[in-house]
A and B are shown apart, each in its own frame.
Chain A
């Protein structure tokens, strides 16, 4: 089977998030950049499903500047077969991403597109659903386990209140939740091989997509800080505070 996986370059989840001095965005200089962790899970799932379903191809796509090549190479080092970078500099909203990915999908014709359920920078969690709708495909978001069999994907999804199982005809979109798998570490030979794997570049123009900004970011601010709390000496003091000060019990 053929799998397409999307990867986004994001700030390291372990790095402290700080706004730039002029508040125009989040500081990225000197900050480690990684593959969005949910996308890494998506890459891992594509690699496992390729093995389970008897081979095929895993194609990794990223949208961004040449910097995003590093994230594509990380996925190639894990074992993906080739990469595509859609070159774009500047703001891009989820609708723009979906329209670019739609063209890539129409060109590549994968059986399944694996994506992360959300990017840990903007936390929108829209992309898989948008792409599924523009393609007219079925979707299984927040995937906890995936079985590809008989021309369909049977997916257990993490939902409020429990686990839901849905079936989607192929091709379909599957977005990875945290517990779908544990991504492998790239091996040294994997990293060496990744350098030689094909990486094509495309542009919005070449894909015939005219981008317009429909979600305009007007500004960023830091959230209100909670005022410092207090340490209490023992259980009796805690219960007293909860009862008489906070009036919470």
Chain B
């Protein structure tokens, strides 16, 4: 039977909900579910994931205060080894992508990145070529390491809380050190958690376009704001807002693509959205091919109208 170890991600004392997708994917294989929480003062995080695991292992150490790939990978691999874990899982977040390949190397395990489906205990599907191709891959090693695309697996139902226990960890000697983290400060929901996303393309013409036109729409909807690569490259929006093949993958209930042409690299990051609205003055823009509702028009005129109409519609 499979023994799963799910690596729990957290930031500023809060569980990253993307981790729950890893529990969901592991549950599809079946077997014993173990969770690992690394860090310092992470008791609350352990409690938050206890309903999804048979046992939560808490590895606290001064050397794990900041998440660094080298010491984290060692601790994860050590715990996986002593548990006899057959599968090690994490969300394919920027942290998961950073750390898990090192775990695979330490465990001499084959790895599948960013999977979108579980076929059986060794076979997984994953998007390739910016999501234009879905590959089915088999991991031929006894131990397997997998990162999970969070938008493809809904959080599992909470069960009776599993046991929480300390596990001794040794980060070992590391060639890396943490300097600082500059967080993007925002009152809006995070892109990964947002029910509605308003995304800006080059058509917004500058940061003023985002501030003056898109922000009021996002305010009216309680939405997060995202952007295309061109907008981030131009410095009109923080890099953290980028949606696409090489940025974030999102799948909200409602996605507004505003002044955004819809290059395949962008579409790769948002086509899983439940309802897509495209607003673009070019009727031939590729974004209309993936949009549920398309409105051809000048965004500087249409979006303020839409903002007012939505305010009214929501009463």
Contacts and interface: CB of A to CB of B under 8 A. Distances in A.
B177 A166 contact: yes
Contacts of B297: 234
B57 interface: no
A161 B271 CA distance: 22
Interface string B266-297: 00000100111100000100001111111111
Nearest to A244: B313
B118 to A, nearest CB: 14
A230 to B, nearest CB: 6
Nearest to B246: A178
Interface in A111-146: 117-118, 120-127, 129-130, 132-134, 136-142, 144
B315 to A, nearest CB: 11
B216 to A, nearest CB: 14
- Dominant SS among interface residues on chain A: mixed
Interface centre among B73, B179, B254, B292 (most CB of A within 10 A): B292
B184 A162 contact: yes
B130 A120 contact: yes
Given A139-B176, A179-B232, A214-B141, A229 B134 contact: no
B287 to A, nearest CB: 10
Contact of B306 (A94, A140, A226, A235): A235
Contact of B309 (A125, A159, A236): A236
Give the most central of B68, B181, B238, B305: most A CB within 10 Å: B181
Contacts of A239: 306, 309-310, 313
Nearest to B192: A160
Contacts of A136: 175
B70 A138 contact: yes
Interface string A148-164: 00000010001111111
Contacts of B111: 94-95, 124, 126, 215
Interface stretch (B28-36, B40-48, B121-129, B161-169): B121-129
B246 A217 contact: no
Nearest to A163: B182
A124 B110 contact: no
B113 interface: yes
A206 interface: no
A161 B188 CA distance: 12
A183 B232 CA distance: 17
Given A17-B129, A134-B105, A158-B240, A216 B137 contact: yes
A232 interface: yes
A11 interface: yes
B14 to A, nearest CB: 11
A219 interface: yes
A137 B274 contact: no
B70 to A, nearest CB: 6
Contacts of B83: none
A184 interface: no
Interface stretch (B92-100, B198-206, B207-215): B92-100
A196 interface: no
Contacts of A223: 127, 131-134
B239 A129 contact: no
A239 B314 CA distance: 10
Interface stretch (A43-51, A56-64, A73-81, A167-175): A167-175
B102 interface: yes
B95 A159 contact: yes
Given A122-B128, A123-B114, A160-B93, A129 B98 contact: yes
A93 interface: yes
A19 B314 CA distance: 45
B80 interface: no
B130 A129 contact: no
A178 B233 contact: yes
Contacts of A13: 130, 265
B219 interface: no
A118 B254 contact: no
Contact of A229 (B69, B130, B288): B288
A160 B94 contact: yes
Interface in B226-247: 229, 232-233, 238-240, 242, 245-246
Contacts of A231: 283, 288, 293-296
Contact of A248 (B245, B275, B289): B275
Interface in B84-117: 93-95, 97-102, 104-106, 110-114
Given A125-B101, A214-B141, A236-B309, 13 more contacts: A123-B114, A124-B113, A126-B104, A137-B175, A160-B192, A164-B182, A165-B179, A178-B239, A215-B110, A215-B112, A223-B127, A231-B296, A241-B293
10 contacts: A11-B129, A95-B104, A120-B129, A120-B130, A138-B70, A159-B95, A164-B182, A229-B293, A236-B309, A248-B253
